[in-house]
Structure 1
């Protein structure tokens, strides 16, 4: 893969967002009220919890999200996309979709797309059947029997 193609896929350059930051914002704009618990966000973004917290902090400093304690659980943090965050996603999404289409789908034939769809559908179903990462105990946490 050429360097520019990698940059398209890994860096959403028009918005000065990393791929993970783009995923955080895009998942928030999908939510009806733009809010989601940090643990639910971690389940949807394949990234470490500490890395996700760091990336969310960078987005918060830019005014693209806010973080606040959950009203029903003091241990939970709610991430909310701001109007500026929604506007940025709306700005970069067409370029992101174009890059994915150009790099992933354009080189494939229809039969390849059908096969890929079947394979990814099975992977999706398998992943949805597994408990979310937030339901699993954290590594290094001592357990008492």
Structure 2
């Protein structure tokens, strides 16, 4: 008796393809709006939004990388671009000298305030407009456990680093 490979039933496969298509279409529209309104990439916007939402305006780089599910090196590059533009500053973490803390500047807050209304308009118009308020509650209820399930395994950015060929 041979084991058959795992498969998705037609409803699961359709849901998967619909989710991927919706995500791609929404991300494309959001990225276009962010470029036009603030010359920001999606990741740069995510960084500014997370920093702007923090009471202190700061986060450790590792926590940001895990939050936006982005590689440490990629995040370092994006934070460097934002720092060159005067939108964030980076400094050694006061809690851990091996960590770097990123803090949003007043210019970063101003840019975030400028792009946010258009961002909300795109998300509202594309994602939420065709749904009833009850549908939005249902969608949130469906996505939350999936997100938690996916987050139960640490993102790659949280995995221990390999040093000198050692695990």
The DSSP-based 3-state class of the residue aligned with 1:33 is coil
C-alpha contact 2:51 2:57 (8 A) present in aligned 1: yes
Number of the residue aligned with 2:114: 91
Q: Structure 1 residues 54, 135: closer, same or farther in 2, change over 3 A?
A: closer
Structure 2 residue runs of 5 or longer lacking an equivalent are 1-20
Alignment of 1:16-31 (within 5 A): 16-31=39-54
CA distance in 2, matches of 1:134, 1:20: 15
The DSSP-based 3-state class of the residue aligned with 1:68 is strand
Match of 1:8 among 6, 10, 29: 29
Match of 1:69 among 62, 69, 92: 92
Aligned residues: 142
Choose 1 or 2 for highest CA Rg: 2
Number of the residue aligned with 2:4: none
Match of 2:83 among 60, 78, 83: 60
Number of the residue aligned with 2:61: 38
Higher strand proportion: 1
Match of 2:70 among 47, 59, 72: 47
Q: Cα offset for 1:91?
A: 1.1
C-alpha contact 2:26 2:127 (8 A) present in aligned 1: no
Number of the residue aligned with 1:124: 147
CA distance in 1, matches of 2:148, 2:95: 31
Structure 1 residue runs of 5 or longer lacking an equivalent are none
The alignment's C-alpha RMSD in Å is 2.5
Deviations 1:60-107 (A, max 9, x none): 000000001112322100100000001111111111011011111112
TM-score (norm 1): 0.83
CA distance in 2, matches of 1:44, 1:6: 17
Q: Cα offset for 1:51?
A: 1.1
CA distance in 2, matches of 1:108, 1:124: 21
